[in-house]
Structure 1
Amino acid sequence: MTRSILSGLLGLLSVVAMASLPSACESGGVGDPCLPEDEYDPQFAGFKVTEENIESRSFQCQTRICLVNHFQGRVSCPRGQEAPPTCKPGEGGCTDCRPSGTYAPDCDPAKPEQCLSGVCDAAGSFCRCGGPQDCPSADWVCGDNGVCTLHICRDNIKGCQDPTKSAEENEGKACCVPGTEDPVASPVCGQCAGDSNRNAEQAVYCSCRCGVAEGEDEDPNFNFCECPQGFECAEIRPNVGLGDKNITGKYCIKQGSQFRGEQDCGQVQGRYNSEQCEGSP
């Protein structure tokens, strides 16, 4: 599991938010913008338009639900990016070589054989690296602290993309971890067309659960919400017997924004790669 200081802070904030969870499912705040916590991971390449994501403990939403309804890319990086060049500190060729994520798989201290290095940190319960051979690839560095770190060269980066700015203003800028100038290490697809109902404004926002999955018996013990004006109750996650049953079913989505297929994406706004991105260039 990739570990980082930011993700640790987010986890703490989520725990604090859980302490104030409402006893009922409230519809207040439905439609408010939210930023999925996955985007604080510098290795996260973005969401796929063929999938949905339900963040059920969002500290940003009154409803505690941040819904990603078949959206492509990163909310924080509208135009996406190609994979940035990697670098290694002190090796030259890059004057601005910055860390972008760490790799330290979880392990059981009683079972050090779970780690490639054979060393499981007793205090942190994560695998310590003994050299570059214990890291994901040759681009990573095994630091003195026994943690694999990836570095990105920012020499030719003109700044970070901002979802509140125009496409012209974001042109040539990089994807960054929200609220920082830390570069995202992965290639990221550009968002779907603005009139596709699949861009961030139309597909990523606070929502609430308004009904059980199709074919399921009604649940009298769950306080479902009523969708406010401009929203409709639609099935987002069928119950296929995996995961938490209480987050399957129907959610409030913007009227007319049901997902019909990857063809919905339309012309991609920014980076397009036919092997990784839906839509068209």
Structure 2
Amino acid sequence: MTRSILSGLLGLLSVVAMASLPSACESGGVGDPCLPEDEYDPQFAGFKVTEENIESRSFQCQTRICLVNHFQGRVSCPLGQEAPPTCNPDQPGTCTSCQLSGTYAPDCDGDAQCISGDCDEAGGFCRCSGDQDCPTNWSCRGGVCQLHICRDNITGCQDPTKSAEENAGKACCVPGTEDPVASPVCGQCAGDSDRNAEQAVYCSCRCGVAENEKKEDYPNFNFCECPQGFTCSEIRPNVGLGDPNITGKYCIKQGSEFTGEQACGKVQGRYNSEQCEGNP
């Protein structure tokens, strides 16, 4: 697992905030906007419209559930972006401003688990011995793989509360900062597609079990009632993998059921046929 100071801070905030939140059975706050924690990772390229994501320990939602219901891109970056160029701080002249974007140090218990054959057992992570031990475009510095990106052409950060005209030409950034995202990001689906952030990413709650299951199978779980304007719909079937307590049905906005990737419509912003669903 990649180690990150940011992830550690987010985890601490989550634990502190969760202590004052109600259990998942409450429906208060359903429909409130939420920002998935994945978006605080500068290497995260965004969600795929063909998938769903259920963040079950969200400190932003009264229900503790932040639902990403077949959404494309990043909530915090409506138009997406091309990947910013990488740079090497040891090779001056490649760009004026070469900024550290992320570090990569997989967990390990012994040397055999590391590509480099060098496990820092005291720290529990793999040390790199050269760039060959790092992902493409990353460099080994001080025994840790690092990614640097060039900020020369970055003129600001996109804001989900702004119009497309105001966001044009701006970068995807880690929410709450001016740190640019290092990955290419697809633009969000069309505003009338029910797959954009407003219609597909919000606080929700588990209102029922998966098809072919019975509520009696979960005697200690209090399911919620969906408020007006929402319907109880299966989001994650129980296929025997992962936590069964987050499978089943969730409250979603009426009329927003996922009907297939073709529902994305005209993409707002960056479109790449190999990475993005929808139409340019």
Q: TM-score, normalised on structure 1? A: 0.96
Q: Offset of 1:16 from its aligned partner? A: 2.1
Structure 1 residue aligned with 2:71:
71
Q: Distance in 1 between matches of 2:260 and 2:56?
A: 24
Aligned-pair Cα RMSD in Å: 1.2
2:54, 2:66 within 8 Å by CA — same for their partners in 1? yes
1:195-206 to structure 2, matched below 5 A, reads: 195-206=192-203
For residues 197-250 of structure 1, the C-alpha deviation after alignment (integer angstroms, 9 at most, x for no partner) is 000000000000000001101133210011111111100000000000000000
Q: Distance in 2 between matches of 1:123 and 1:251?
A: 43
Say yes or no: does 1:153 pair with 2:158: no
1:113-192 to structure 2, matched below 5 A, reads: 113-137=112-136, 139-144=137-142, 146-192=143-189
Structure 2 residue aligned with 1:277:
276
Q: Distance in 2 between matches of 1:62 and 1:156?
A: 40
Structure 2 residue aligned with 1:267:
266
Q: TM-score, normalised on structure 2? A: 0.96
Structure 2 residue aligned with 1:55:
55
Report the CA distance shift for 1:23/1:268 in structure 2 as closer, same or farther (over 3 A): closer
Q: Distance in 2 between matches of 1:93 and 1:125?
A: 34
Of all paired residues, the percent bearing the same amino acid is: 86
Q: Distance in 1 between matches of 2:21 and 2:162?
A: 33
Unaligned runs of 5+ in 1: none
Tell me which amino acid in the other structure corresponds to 1:102: T
Tell me which amino acid in the other structure corresponds to 2:32: D
For residues 229-272 of structure 1, the C-alpha deviation after alignment (integer angstroms, 9 at most, x for no partner) is 11111000000000000000000000100000001100000000
Q: Offset of 1:24 from its aligned partner? A: 5.6
Say yes or no: does 1:101 pair with 2:102: yes
Tell me which amino acid in the other structure corresponds to 1:140: W
Q: Offset of 1:128 from its aligned partner? A: 1.1
1:98, 1:153 within 8 Å by CA — same for their partners in 2? yes
Say yes or no: does 1:10 pair with 2:10: yes
1:32-47 to structure 2, matched below 5 A, reads: 32-47=32-47
Match of 2:187, SS state, is coil
Q: Distance in 1 between matches of 2:165 and 2:122?
A: 48
Report the CA distance shift for 1:29/1:157 in structure 2 as closer, same or farther (over 3 A): same
2:2, 2:107 within 8 Å by CA — same for their partners in 1? no
Q: Offset of 1:23 from its aligned partner? A: 4.5
Report the CA distance shift for 1:24/1:267 in structure 2 as closer, same or farther (over 3 A): closer
Q: Distance in 1 between matches of 2:198 and 2:162?
A: 13
Structure 2 residue aligned with 1:82:
82
Q: Distance in 2 between matches of 1:38 and 1:189?
A: 15
Match of 1:17, SS state, is helix
Structure 1 residue aligned with 2:240:
241
Unaligned runs of 5+ in 2: none
Q: Distance in 2 between matches of 1:160 and 1:98?
A: 15
Number of equivalent positions? 277
Q: Distance in 2 between matches of 1:31 and 1:151?
A: 37
